Structure 1
């Protein structure tokens, strides 16, 4: 048994575009974050997506987990889902809110966070493409 995932990454494609946000320090990335005490990772995925983008997701599917090796090594669970509502003017504090990017825009983006250049990201996007279509 590996380490328990307490971090989440939410990779959603809606009407042909990826839901990303611009983090003030890291750049463009998929929404995500850390589960709070007593919170399930499913609840954390929904909450973080709302907090970072104003988008509410439903029909969550956890389809991957990976370990991030850094100063503090942690396990991240990767989710996808369906967009159920989009708040037009959300009050956001950590990010600039929802950005919707096509495959081409994401592939050619020079502001991607280091998380998005991860080797597994191409596989993650392939899986979500299959799920979303």
Structure 2
């Protein structure tokens, strides 16, 4: 939420709130997987877990729905709480690309975009939460994991 306070932690359920939202931060062949949301702009794929769905299942589903990319070897490495009118916790995942559907059925987005570090840093269409200081820390963690 724009202007909301965010608390980021690297670890499992360190913030005392169950994560029901997900964010997938993935780097593949030197490029970040992002998508263009119709309202917010360029951002990492993510969303909310559906009833009866684990957060890992939600991360996989949301990534497919928003980008057409199927991911495996999921690693949950961080959580953050967004403190707003409705406070919520988001689990942050990375993983490996299993397959890429070049013609996916998309929901809410324009599909997969693959951006280099420089392209991401200079992008003027980033959604507001991609500009958060925590996102730089999250990308740094993923860079170290991929290396």
Structure 2 stretches lacking a partner, 5+ long: 1-14
TM-score (norm 2): 0.89
Which residue of 97, 103, 114 maps to 2:117?
Answer: 103
Which residue of 81, 106, 110 maps to 1:67?
Answer: 81
Structure 1 stretches lacking a partner, 5+ long: none
The RMSD of aligned alpha carbons is: 0.8
What corresponds to 2:22 in structure 1? 8
1:13-28 alignment, distance < 5 Å:
13-28=27-42
- Report how far residue 118 of structure 1 moved: 1.2
Which residue of 66, 89, 99 maps to 2:103?
Answer: 89
Aligned length: 133
- 1:39-65 deviations in Å (ceiling 9; x for gaps): 000000000000000000000000000
**Hey, which bits of structure 1, 4+ residues long, moved more than 2 A?**
none
- 1:24-46 deviations in Å (ceiling 9; x for gaps): 00000000000001100000000
- Report how far residue 93 of structure 1 moved: 2.6
- 1:63-86 deviations in Å (ceiling 9; x for gaps): 000101122110000000000000
